Amino acid sequence: MISPKTRAILIAYLFGNRIEFDRIAAVVKARVIVFEDYIEAFYGREFTGSSRADVSMFSFGLIKIVTALGGALLTIRDPSLLASVQAIQAYYSQ
């Protein structure tokens, strides 16, 4: 349920499945930041997620199909969110 306190929504695609993202984005995108995680649906560099999501990510972990010890690849489409993330990253990389 989306309430006035909701700041973001994370949509995770499990077991290689994908859902109709455009229908979700049409309902919630104007009110919250929309993250999508192709957690188990990674299929190469030619796909970076839905262009309607603010952030698309491909998370990796020990129990995932494409595994690493941890981490994720992100595509951040919202310019103000990207600037905030870059500022935080710059602070911690000093």
Quick check: 36 pLDDT over 70?
yes
pLDDT at 72: 79
**What is the spatial distance between Cα 11 and Cα 16, in angstroms, rounded to a whole number?**
13
**DSSP letters spanning 6-21:** --EEEEE--TT----H
d(CA 7, CA 37): 17
Q: Which residues pair with 43 in a beta bridge?
A: none
**From 3.40.640.10, 2.60.40.1530, 3.30.465.10, 2.30.40.10, which CATH number describes the 8-92 domain?**
3.40.640.10
Mean pLDDT of all residues belonging to the chain: 79
* Alpha-carbon gap, residue 90 to 87, rounded angstroms: 5
What pLDDT is attached to residue 43? Answer: 65
At 19 the pLDDT is 72
- The residue extents of the domains of the chain are 8-92
**Which residues on neighbouring strands pair with residue 15, listed in sequence order?**
none
Q: What global pTM score does this model have? A: 0.73
pLDDT reading at 82 higher than 90: yes
More confident residue, 46 or 81: 81
